[in-house]
Amino acid sequence: MRSKSYKEVKEKIGDNPIDIASAAKFVKENARAKFDETIELHIALGVDTSKSDQMVRGSVVLPGGTPTQKRVAVVTNDAEKQEAAKKVGAALVGGDDLIADIEKNGLSDIDVVIATPDMMPKIAKVAKVLGPKGLMPNPKNGTVTADVAAAVQELAAGKITFKMDSQGNIHAALAKASWDTEKTEQNIRALIDAVRAVRPQNHRGEFMTKVVLKSSMSPAVRITLA
């Protein structure tokens, strides 16, 4: 059952889409929980999810930063690269030993896995562990790279990856309610631009059919892209 506060905010929103700046301001002003709510952007795509060539995925550096610090695991057998990754903040670093541990014990409390290209055939052994969690390294989002330290630094600087789900939707946490609305607005625009940039070449018709912004406990505000 929805709270009285939720219903009041829902009534304020109405049915008409509003511009990005107004949406960012509205969601911030109506985040009333006792904790610092996370602000999320949800994008519905008009793609055919049954076709592999219409998969939408990519990455973007959010200019305003990310609302949560990513815990990163780095997989490489190169000792120098392991040390470099540790120095820039990787939470977990290893090579064959780390893969063996994941195979035996699984992997928890990690948000992103980065690997050097030479490790990918070996990581295939734990694809069943990493895949369902969305942690399988992929060259398309920059998590398969020879420069693992730079990849870790990019994540610290605000880089996120996105991938549409089985229903053709993209979900991303972009800000905190306590942030200045300008930072939130910058991140919204950056993600929308990044999704547009990876539109499938053979797609026809409307690409983004619905874009909404909400905080952890608030109703969604529909955004106009016009």
State whether 27 and 41 are in the same domain.
yes
pLDDT for 206 equals 94
Find the domain containing 108 and state its range: 72-156
State whether 62 and 76 are in the same domain.
no
pLDDT digits (tens, 9 = 90+) for 195-220: 999 999 989 899 999 999 999 998 89
State whether 62 and 167 are in the same domain.
yes
Q: Which amino acid type is present at position 140?
A: K
Residue at a domain's end among 108, 132, 156:
156
State whether 129 and 168 are in the same domain.
no
pLDDT for 40 equals 97
Q: Tell me if 6 is assigned to some domain.
A: no
- Residue identified by tokens 């990005």 is 20
Q: Tell me if 186 is assigned to some domain.
A: yes
State whether 55 and 166 are in the same domain.
yes
Q: Tell me if 110 is assigned to some domain.
A: yes
State whether 87 and 142 are in the same domain.
yes
State whether 85 and 118 are in the same domain.
yes
State whether 45 and 76 are in the same domain.
no
Q: Tell me if 180 is assigned to some domain.
A: yes
pLDDT for 13 equals 63
Q: Which parts of the chain have pLDDT scores under 70?
A: 1-15, 226
- pLDDT, mean over the chain: 92
pLDDT for 12 equals 65
Q: Tell me if 37 is assigned to some domain.
A: yes
DSSP symbols for the chain: ---HHHHHHHHHH-SS-B-HHHHHHHHHHT--SSS-PEEEEEEEE-S-TT-GGG--EEEEE-TT--SSPPPEEEE-S-HHHHHHHHHTT-SEEESHHHHHHHHHH---S-SEEEE-GGGHHHHGGGHHHHGGGT----GGGT-B-S-HHHHHHHHHTTEEEEE--TTSEEEEEEEETTS-HHHHHHHHHHHHHHHHHT--TT--S-SEEEEEEEETTS--EEB---
CATH code (residue 175): 3.30.190.20
CATH code (residue 115): 3.40.50.790
- Total domain count for the chain? 2
Cβ proximity of 36 and 217 under 8 Å: no
Residue at a domain's end among 123, 138, 156:
156
Q: Tell me if 181 is assigned to some domain.
A: yes
Q: Tell me if 78 is assigned to some domain.
A: yes
Residue at a domain's end among 156, 177, 204:
156
pLDDT for 141 equals 86
pLDDT for 73 equals 98
